Amino acid sequence: MSGANIDLSLARAIAISQEMLDAAEKGNFQSLEPLDLERMDLLKFFRNSTTQMTAADRALLLQITQINDRTIGLLEHQRRSKGRDLDMAAVGRRAVAAYSSHRPQR
């Protein structure tokens, strides 16, 4: 891909996608929504301003999709992990509640 064939909005969208993946890996979830909104605006701009996609455009869109899939997978994994942690905390609370009324006699 030569630099002349690369759409600037897609190039920026891929950079934002990578930023989103990096933020997800670091657990910086607050930065994901504004990045996603910015990326969505760029992709909409590309869609509305492009009459015919080039091979370079398709390659960048594929790359954006792959990075996005990795980010979603990472976020889903973290969500499930938090869910397991919450389930274990609930089990612990129930155990404490169940055994707290069974104190040894003195």
* pLDDT 10s digits, 47-75: 999 888 889 999 999 999 999 999 999 99
Cα separation, 47 vs 26, in Å, equals: 31
Residue 84 predicted with pLDDT over 90:
no
CATH architecture of 3-100: Up-down Bundle (1.20)
Averaging pLDDT over each range in 26-30, 67-71, 98-102, which range is the top one? 67-71
Q: What is the mean pLDDT of the chain?
A: 87
Place of tokens 């274990």: 88
Cα separation, 74 vs 20, in Å, equals: 11
The pTM (predicted TM-score) of the whole model is 0.72
Please give the pLDDT value at position 2: 43
Please give the pLDDT value at position 33: 95
Determine contact, residues 10/61, Cβ cutoff 8 Å: yes
